[in-house]
Amino acid sequence: MSEFGLVALLVGALGLIAIGIAGLVLARNLFRLVLALAVAEAGANLLLVLAGFRQGASAPIIEGGSTLHQVAMVDPIPQAMVLTAIVIGVGVQALALALAVRAREAYGSLDMDQLRARMEADIIAAAGTAPTTSQEAPSGARPLPPPLPSPARIAAEEPSS
């Protein structure tokens, strides 16, 4: 592979990381946050594979049952590491999605800011302390969306076919 190709791959990997991190910082939707995490992880994995790449080497699989291998092979360790990293990423993303599902069920929103406000309100209510944040906030309950109606109710309200 040409020198240019390698740099392009590097730029691609770092670009994925940058996009993913920017998404993590800017996105407010929980699902998008998880997707952004996945994008960033893809970038990091690509970077890891790049770290083991050798110019003109073949995949680390011995062909034809011969223990003699004249051809240079790429570093197998980063490949194994990537395998591990991918699986770890899958696990974490699944967990994050499950949490998002539950959060939406409870608070009726996937918006991080709203969820955070509800969470803080819940923490304060559970602790029984007065809110410590803003003293200027309008008194009374904050205008947060009501929880989504349960699926059973959706089903009931739909015009029956």
Partner 1 sequence: MIALTVALPLLAAFLLPLLPALARQFLGPLVLLAVAAFGLCLAGNALDAPSVVAIGDFRPPLGIVFYADGVAGLFVFAIAVVTLLLWPCATPNGQPDPQITRKHSLTLLMAAASCALALSGDLFNIYVFYELAAVAGYGLAAGSRTPAAQVATFRFTLLGSLGSLLALIGITLIYFRAGSLNLAHLAELAPSTLHDPLGLAGFLLILLGFGVKSELFLVNSWAPEVYATAESRVSALLAGLISKLALLAVVRLLVLVFPVPEASQLLLVLGMLGILTGELAAYRARDFRRLLAWSSIGQLGAAFVAFAIPGPAGLMAGIAVALHHLMVKPALFLLAERWGGNLAQLAGAARNSPIAAALFVLFALSLIGVPPLPGFWAKYLLLSGLAGEPAGLWWLAGLVVLTTTVVEAVYLFRIIGTLYGHQQGSVMQSRTATTGSGIFALLLVGTALSAPLLAAPLQKMATQLADTDGYVAQVISATITAPQRSGTAP
Partner 2 sequence: MLTRYGSLLFATGFAFLLFSLFIALPMGEPPTLAGQAILNEAANSVGAANIVTSVVLAYRGIDTLGELSILFAAATAVGLVLGGQARAPRPSKEDGAGGFILQTGVDLLFPLLLVVGFYIILHGHLTPGGGFQGGVVLAAALVLPVLARPEESPSPAALAWVEGLAGAAFIATGLAALAYDHAFLTPLLGAGQLGDLFSAGTLPLLYLAVGLKVGAELAKLLLRLAEEGPAA
Partner 3 sequence: MTTPLDLLLFTAAATVAGAFALGRWRDIAWLTGAFYIAQLIQLTGLDLPSASHAGFTLFGQLVGWQMDGFGRFFAIITVGAAAAATAYMGGEWGERYRQAGHSLVWLHGALAINVLAMLLLLAGNDLIALFIGWELTSWASFLLMAQGGERALRAALRYVPYAMGAAMAVLGGIVLTHAFTGTLQFTELAQRVPQLENWQLALMVTLFGVGFSIKMGLLPFHLWQAPAYAEAAGAGTSFLGAISARMGLFALALLLVKFVSLTRLADLEFVSGLFDARDLIAWVAAFTIVLPTFTALKQNDARYLLAWHGIGQGGYMLLGIVIGDATGSAGGLLHVFNYATYQAALVLSVFAVLHRTGTADLNSLGGLVTRMPLTFLVMLMGIIGLAGLPPMNGFVSKWLVYRSLMIEGRPLLFLMTVIGTLGTILSVYKLIHNTFLGQLRLEHEGIREAPWSMTIPMLVLVGIGFVTGVAPGLPLQWVNDAQAALGLPVLPHTLGGVESSQGGLDMLWVVGVLFAGFGIGALLFYGVGNRSKRIHQLDNYAGGHFLSADVRYHYSDHFYAGLMHRIGPLYRGSFTRLEEAVASANDTLAALMQAWYRQRVPMLTLLVAATAGLGWMVLQ
Residue found by looking up tokens 């049952």 in the block: 65
Candidates 38, 8, 42; CA nearest to 23 is 38
Q: What's the gap between Cα 34 and its chain centre? A: 3
Backbone angles phi, psi at 60, to 5 degrees: -80, 60
Select the residue interacting with partner 2 from 8, 77, 119, 123 (CB under 8 A): 77
- Distance in angstroms (rounded) separating the CA atoms of residues 99 and 4: 42
- Binding of partner 1 at residue 84 (CB under 8 A)? yes
Q: Is 25 in the site for partner 3 (CB under 8 A)?
A: yes
Q: Distance between CA atoms of 48 and 75, rounded to whole angstroms?
A: 11
- Site residues for partner 3, 107-146, by CB under 8 A, read 113, 116, 120, 132-133
The residue to which tokens 């007065």 are assigned: 130
Considering only 63-71, 119-127, 129-137, 138-146, which stretch makes contact with partner 2 by CB under 8 A?
63-71
Q: Which stretch binds partner 3 (CB under 8 A): 21-29, 45-53, 85-93, 148-156?
A: 21-29
Query: Apex CA 84: angle with CA 29 and CA 58, to 5°?
Result: 120
Rounded-to-integer distance, Cα 67 and Cα 12, Å: 36
Q: Which residues pair with 58 in a beta bridge?
A: 73
* Candidate segments 39-47, 59-67, 137-145, 151-159, binder of partner 1 by CB under 8 A: 39-47
Residue 10 or residue 156: which is nearer to partner 1 going by CB? 10
Site for partner 2 in 23-42 (CB under 8 A): 25-26
Name the minimum Å distance from CB 7 to partner 2.
7
24 binds partner 3 (CB under 8 A): yes
Minimal distance, residue 10 CB to partner 3, in Å? 16
Shortest separation between residue 61's beta carbon and partner 1, angstroms: 18
